[in-house]
C-alpha cells in the first residue's frame, strides 16, 4: 500500500504511462490501475479519460500526497 505515488509524465503527450512508488520503483500505468481496482492502494482511485484509466490520489489537502503535485 503506497502513500506517495508520482506520475512520471512519460507518455507522448505528457500523460503518465508509468508511476514511481517509493521503495518499489517504477510501475506501469496498467499495473497500478489494476492494483487500485483490487483495493491495494486505498488512498487512490482510477480516473478514466478517452477509455484509458489513470491513477489519481484521493484529495486530502496535502500536496505531497497527490500525484503530479511536487
Judged by DSSP in three states, 44 sits in strand
pTM of the model: 0.80
Residue with cell 520503483: 25
Would you list the domain boundaries of the chain? 6-61
Residue with cell 511536487: 70
* Dist CA 25 CA 8 (whole Å): 11
Tens of pLDDT, residues 2-41: 778 999 999 998 999 999 999 999 999 999 999 999 999 9
**Distant-in-sequence, close-in-space partners of 21: CB < 8 Å, separation ≥ 6:** 2, 4, 5, 27, 32
Amino acid at each position: 500500500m503506497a502513500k506517495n505515488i508520482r506520475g512520471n509524465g512519460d507518455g507522448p503527450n505528457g500523460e503518465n504511462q508509468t508511476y514511481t512508488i517509493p521503495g518499489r520503483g517504477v510501475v506501469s500505468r496498467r499495473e497500478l490501475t489494476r492494483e487500485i481496482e483490487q483495493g491495494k492502494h486505498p488512498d487512490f482511485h482510477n480516473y478514466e479519460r478517452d477509455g484509458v484509466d489513470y491513477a489519481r490520489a484521493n484529495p486530502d489537502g496535502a500536496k505531497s500526497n497527490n500525484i503530479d503535485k511536487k
